[in-house]
Amino acid sequence: MATASTVSYGGLSLTGAQSGNYTLTTQANSAATITPKALTESGLSVASSKVYNGTTAATVIGSAALATAETGGSGTTTDGKAYSGDTVSISGTATGTYNSKDVATASTVTYAGLSLTGAQAGNYSLTIQTPAAATITPKALTETGLSVAASRIYDGSTTATVAGSAALASAEAVGAGTTADGKAYTGDTVGITGTVSGTYNSKDVATASTVTYAGLALNNSNYTLTIQSPVAATITRRT
């Protein structure tokens, strides 16, 4: 393909009673090139979602492969198949990239990083698989810093007085830690909003044993908030 530049005409001759009196000069060569045939690649996939990690990188699964070759002259020039006898294969390392790093807008992963190699690779181009549908789910952040008294006097309600201030763990650099470590990433604006409340599991002295925290949220949709676990606390008799 790299050296194709002209087309020569042939296969014609003269006929007729006086054809022996003449010679045939076939028209001059025409300029023409051959363009690469596109080969179809398949075999790659990604998980339907990943947990937010501050990047657009997706983990690619599978191995890139070409369709089975066909005999020259068979098939069509658009069937995505190489021709038997040509040495051509896929090289490179497949990558996957989300269209956005953010939970709200990430919807597809595009594959890249592959090319063709082999003696006849120049006769072909590689059509990499179409983008795959995939989303990003929020990373859970751990909240700490709240407490309640070990007990309070019965007042007919399940309300507990919460002490302390809700706080997040120190942020970490993108690419550090894990998606399950409860930490936000440096550079993201994220904080706790709302007013914390504490609620006993029962209003009664005999059955009150824990206080559950609520009322808090985050101001960044790339994260969800994991509020502290319920704490042990009781209610004592009123005198």
> 135: Cβ–Cβ under 8 A, 6 or more apart, which residues?
48, 49, 103, 106, 107
State the DSSP code for 21: G
Q: Which residues contact 239 (CB under 8 A, 6 or more apart)?
A: none
Q: Which residue, 161, 122, 165, is CA-closest to 144? A: 165
pLDDT in tens, the chain (239 residues): 667 888 899 999 999 999 999 999 999 999 998 889 999 999 999 999 999 999 999 999 999 999 999 999 899 999 999 999 999 999 999 999 999 999 999 999 999 999 999 999 999 999 999 999 999 999 999 999 999 999 999 999 999 999 999 999 999 999 899 999 999 999 999 999 999 999 999 999 999 999 999 999 999 999 999 999 999 999 999 98
- As given in the structure block, the two tokens for residue 95 are 């990558």
Secondary structure element (H or E) that encloses residue 224, with its range = strand 223-226
Q: What is the pLDDT of residue 67?
A: 96
Question: pLDDT value at position 5?
Answer: 81
Q: Where are the domains of the chain?
A: 35-136, 138-236
Which pLDDT does position 6 carry in this prediction?
A: 87
> Which pLDDT does position 112 carry in this prediction?
97
pTM comes to 0.84
Q: What is the pLDDT of residue 4?
A: 82
Burial zone of 155 (CB within 10 Å; 0-12 exposed, 13-18 middle, 19+ buried): exposed
Please report the pLDDT score of residue 1 as a whole number.
61
The pLDDT assigned to 184 comes to 97
CB 51, CB 26: distance < 8 Å: no
